[in-house]
Amino acid sequence: MSVPSMPGTGDHTIKNPVLPGFHPDPSICRAGGDYYLACSSFEYFPGVPLFHSRDLVHWTQIGNVLERPSQLRLPRDAPSSGGIYAPTLRHHDDRFWLITTNVNDGGHLLVTATDPAGPWSDPVRLPGVPGIDPDLAWDDEGNCWCTYAGVEQVRIDPRTGQSFGPPRRLWSGTNGAKAPEAPHLYRIGGYWYLLIAEGGTERCHGVSIARGRTPNGPFEPCPDNPILTHRGTDHPIQNTGHADLVQAPDGSWWMVLLGVRPGGGTPGWHVLGRETFLAPVSWVDGWPVVGELSLVLPAPPWPLRPGAVAPVRDDFDLGEPAPCWISPRRRPAEHCTTNERTGWLTLRALGKSLDDPDVMFVGRRQQHLSCRVRTLIDPAEGSGGLAVRLDEQHHYAIEAASGEVRVLVRIGPLHTVVASRPVPDGPLILGLHVAAVQAVNEARTGPDTLSLGFEEPDGTFVELATLDGRYLSTEVAGGFTGRVMGMYASAGTVHFDWFDYEPAPGPRP
């Protein structure tokens, strides 16, 4: 099973985002002709999805960096939007280095690998380094500098986690903007450049930069800061920030960053989470200038592999779930397996519902504004179904038990069954159709609708309920994640023969 990316359109343009769906806080590095990119994963296990590309446009997930319980501990009381924050990925001394923060288990951790597809090492802890959003940079003398949100810096030994001396404040952005974070430090030409995000990760987010002659400064700010922001505009890409720079083999420079695509009326709701976008960068008078950032861009000056986004289907024929499948906090093998019934995914209930932090849920990120999701469930030994989840208090589901299907809704304190229908015993196809709005008729129009139901034996879709999508948005629920769609068990044992995710026509790419 592969995760669909947004491909070139075939007419010398590319579509943004290049990693659609819940892929925030991108960090990128290049090794030869290969690019690698990592993102935040928050409360989900396995953690830190890792992607590979040879053209900066088409990305393939090759694994997850934190895929073992020894690497990633997420306690039951870890809140949604807790867990793993803001990795930095670097290639240095023929090794790949990734540093990130587990805000619910000891703070910063650092792992390494010779092959980015893994395995990655068990983590080295950095108890002397506070904060979040850690960065790694090495100077010509071999010193390793860890810079983090604030913006502060300390020298560390990346192999042991030892820090040397007290943290030193470097530069905290421009004009008193809040939340200076996501620092990345680079040696480019005769300067060290310090790239940060500021303004908060909502509509006022932006990217600013400063430079100095040493990795510890002093740093002078760019006179044109912020070098990227869409605050105060009606641009279709908003919340732009948390960027990282990379140089291509031809010498050109590029920026990856997070952004969102709000839909509907006022104030605009984004439902897929913060996504990874690509923008070109040029240099003028020793400062980076960010080029066009839009939903459609001119293609880079090198060949792009062709192809349309194909439907994604998983028949669960592998010995373990594919890398795109994630679960809240943990996924014990005895409760999630593809080995019990050949060609089926078997889930055994932990928590009693999607409201429970221990729910046995296995999902993948929603990556398209309009899509159709289907799965074949055998609920003979329990109950479970198909759900779209934002967190424990915001989710919709179509659930099957012996002889019945029902639509469940959780919106904050409201938890209710909105529809039910008797069905014959035996396996059943459950469906979820997401349709983005075509036009905003008035200010309170939501971003999309979600229709939940099941299929008759002749393939007819029986819609039990159509729900407003705004209640599964970040603007309603809060937090830092996006929608995740998948299968769950609420009682006993349930089996799933296949899962199909198909992008559907919509008003925007």
Instruction: Sketch the domain layout of the chain as residue ranges.
Output: 25-255, 312-503
Taking the mean position of all CA atoms in its chain, how far away is CA 154?
Answer: 28
Comparing C-alpha atoms, which of 330, 331, 255 is closest to residue 293? 255
CA–CA distance, 49 with 23 (Å, rounded to integer): 8
pLDDT for 11 equals 54
- What pLDDT score does 9 carry? 45
Distances (CA, A) of 3 to 48, 264, 325, 342, 456: 15, 26, 10, 23, 28
Report pLDDT for 443: 86
pLDDT tens string 446-482: 999 999 999 999 999 999 999 999 999 999 999 999 9
Give dist(CA 152, CA 181) in Å, integer: 10
Mind listing the pLDDT tens digit of every residue in the chain (509 residues)? 544 444 444 457 889 999 999 999 999 999 999 999 999 999 999 999 999 999 999 999 999 999 999 999 999 999 999 999 999 999 999 999 999 999 999 999 999 999 999 999 999 999 999 999 999 999 999 999 999 999 999 999 999 999 999 999 999 898 788 999 999 999 999 999 999 999 999 999 999 999 999 999 999 999 999 999 999 999 999 999 999 999 999 999 999 999 999 999 999 999 999 999 999 999 999 999 999 999 999 988 898 875 445 668 999 998 889 999 999 999 999 999 999 999 999 999 999 999 999 999 999 999 999 999 999 999 999 999 999 999 999 999 999 998 999 999 999 999 999 999 999 999 999 999 999 998 887 888 999 999 999 999 999 999 999 999 999 999 999 999 999 999 999 999 999 999 999 999 865 43
pTM for the full predicted model? 0.95
- Rg of the Cα atoms in the chain: 23
350-354, long-range: CB within 8 Å, 24+ apart, which pairs? 350/489, 351/490, 352/490, 352/491, 353/408, 353/490, 354/387, 354/389, 354/392, 354/395, 354/397, 354/408, 354/410, 354/488, 354/490
pLDDT value, residue 402: 84
Among 240, 292, 272, smallest CA distance to 473 is for 272
Class of domain 312-503: mainly beta
| Res 507: pLDDT | 55
Rounded to whole angstroms, the Cα distance separating 273 from 67 reads 22
Q: Could you name the CATH architecture of 25-255? A: 5 Propeller (2.115)
- By CB atoms closer than 10 A (0-12, 13-18, 19+), residue 199 is buried
pLDDT at position 311, please? 64
| DSSP bridge pairs for 255 | 245, 279
Q: Length of the chain, please?
A: 509
Beta bridge partners of 102: 84, 107
Q: Could you give the residue numbers annotated as active site?
A: 25, 181
